[in-house]
Each structure stands twice: as structure tokens, then as C-alpha cells.
Amino acid sequence: MPKGTRQESKSGSGSAARGAVSLKQLAAHLGLSTTTLSLVLNNAPSARSIPEETKKRIFAAAKELNYRPNYLARSLRVQRTHTLGVLVPELSDGYSAMVLNGVESALTNEGFFYLTASHLHRDDLLLRLPGVLAERQVEGIIAVDTPIRFEPSLPIVNVSGHEEIKGVTNVVLNHQHAAELGVGHLHELGHRQVALLKGQEFSSDTEVRFETIMKAATDRGIPISSNLQQQLEGELPSPEVGYAATKKLISGGERFTALFAFNDVSAIGAIRALEEAGRRVPEDVSVLGFDDIYGAAFHNPALTTIRQPLFEMGRLAAKTVLDELGGKRNGSSPQTLSVEPTLIVRQSTARVTKAAA
């Protein structure tokens, strides 16, 4: 081996190139204590007393020598992993993704990381995945539209959870207000023949959304007959389920001037089915969605929808877990945190015409 290569290895720069520099080696390189480096690199409150010039030297040397902290060793030492687990049905560009964006925003600000696991509505995964996350030393769990089928042993928050379980906090939408907003909007536009797409059986919000919409419609003299109700089928987070359900509605032959969809994804599929059947949106049929996913405003026509503050719900869920870990909450009692919806009027709804009626 060439002499120059042996000398590089002895000086430690070869180890640096491989990312193997330890905190002790970095401290020796700078002539500082490991305690000082640890305080600065971890942005500890007591690091405020350390001169700014020293901090700059530490960060510059850490970058130059490719120092990487050993988080496993640190976690074992302080008995903290600063990691949460997140259970979701699946990862798509709709509901789950927007909630996760909110979770990530809150955790990043607090120096936390999260591990995501998709249960795909499978009973075996609903039972097994919480244990898998616990084995990886997560400090809390956020469930998103996911039934709790395990014994809570960590701080747990369930977004769109409706079961009262000891030790679990639910973050839910005010569905009664959402139904009033949606049905009220269609009623004000003159619609009296309204069809309804009900959510899949596995969704946590299906029953409460259906019941509140039916009540709001009945209160306004808009009875939604069983012939104008169609339940979404299939597990795909795709407009295809709304497309298939709306084709069934159309084939039933009963006239409707408006359609209230379970979510935006199914509403987009419904618009496709209506247009294929020669019914224009909104001239012949108004379509109302739910959630206000990112693509709702850019669909053609832009989708009128009930905005569920999914990003804020994710942030609230993460903040609630962090507060419990910090001793700011009593996690022994069930608690429900409610958020409010907003009606977003765009181009997929319009006043009913005599021809449509």
C-alpha cells in the first residue's frame, strides 16, 4: 500500500471520508470537550452560553469531516427515540397524504421523526403493525382513519376516530355542521332531487357522514330515497369507485339534479360517469364533494366541496401526542377534539334549471 495512503488512515481523514468520525474524534480535532459539541450539535438550551464563533467552528468541522451522530446510541442513553408511528389505510394523493403533511409539519418543528405503516384495511395488519412500531421504539402512535384493534400502551391519537377508548384521543370533524353546509348549499340553489354517494364500509366517517347528511336533507324537505343512495365499493383510493357507483345511480332511472359525494375522489369519478351519460356538470347535475383535496380546485369543472381541514387535523394530532409526552395532558381519559368544516364554492354546482328539474 502506498505510503501516502497509510498516513491518511492514521490522521483520521480516511475515516472521515467514510463517515465514521465519532463525537470523540471530532472533539479531539477541535480541541473541545465532547459535552460542548453535544450541546451545540443537539441545539440544547444550555448551548446559548457558548460563543457563536465556537458554534460556527463546530458546525463547519462536522460538515468537513462528514460527522454523523449515532442516534441509536443516543436513544439508548437518554431512553428517547424522538420518533412517532403513524398508521394509515394507504398512501395516496388524497386524504392520508394531507393529514401526513400536517403531522410532518408539527413534528419537524420539535425535532421528531415518524415511521409510516399502511394496513390496507387488513385485519391481520391492524393487529400486527402497532406491535411492529412499538418494537422500533416509537414514543406514540397517530392513527389516521384507522380502527384501534390493539391495547393502547403508548400515547395514541386517532384522526377521524369515533370510538371512545381509554387512553385514545380522537380528532374529528364537526360532521353535523358539514352536512348543514353541504345540504344547505344545494337547497339554496333550488335542488330538491338529490342523490348521495355513501362511503365504503371500512371508513371511520361513513356512518356519521351519512346520518348527518340524511338528517339535514330531511329537515329541509329533501327526502333522499333509497333509489338515490349508492354505497362506494372497493378499496382503491381512486375516482373509479365513484364512477362505478354513479353509473349504478344513472342506470336506476330515477332523476336527480344534484349529487352529494362522500369525498372529492369519488366526486371526480361521478363527474366522469355523468358526462359519459350526456349529463353536463353543473348545467344538468350539480356535484358536491368532501375534503377539498389538493386536486379539487384544478379539476374541470373546479369542484365545490366541504373543506375538511386535513392538514390542521394532522398538526393537531401530532401536537396532542407531543403534549402528552411532555406531561402537558392527562392521557388516561378519552377525549375528543373537534375541528370545523368550510364550504368552498367553485364551478361544479349551480342553480337548478327548469330543464334539469
Task: Give the phi and the psi of residue 87 in degrees, each rounded to 5.
Answer: -100, 125
What would be the CATH architecture of the domain defined by 175-308? 3-Layer(aba) Sandwich (3.40)
Task: Indicate the domain borders of the chain.
Answer: 3-69, 82-173+310-339, 175-308
Read off the pLDDT of residues 35-58 as tens digits, 9 standing for 90 and up: 888 788 777 667 788 999 999 999
Q: What is the CATH number of domain 82-173+310-339?
A: 3.40.50.2300
Given this chain, do its domains 82-173+310-339 and 175-308 carry the same CATH topology?
yes
Q: What is the CATH number of domain 3-69?
A: 1.10.260
14 within 8 A of 35, measured Cβ to Cβ: no
pLDDT > 70? residue 17: no
Residue 322, Ramachandran bin (φ over 0: left; ψ between -120 and 50: alpha; else beta): alpha
Q: Read off the pLDDT band of 4 (50, 70, 90).
A: very low
Q: Read off the pLDDT band of 334 (50, 70, 90).
A: low
- 162-166: long-range pairs with CB below 8 Å, 24+: 162/204, 162/205, 162/208, 164/334, 165/334, 166/332, 166/333, 166/334
Instruction: Sort 255 into a burial class: Cβ within 10 Å, 0-12 / 13-18 / 19+.
Output: exposed
268 within 8 A of 240, measured Cβ to Cβ: no
The β-bridge partners of 21 are none
The β-bridge partners of 111 are none
**Grid cell of 329 as nine digits:** 395532558
Centre a 10 Å sphere on the Cβ of residue 348 and count the other Cβ atoms it contains.
26
Read off the pLDDT of residues 64-79 as tens digits, 9 standing for 90 and up: 888 876 655 554 444 5
Task: Give the phi and the psi of residue 5 in degrees, each rounded to 5.
Answer: -65, -40
pTM confidence score: 0.76
**Strands 342-344 and 304-307, sheet pairing:** antiparallel
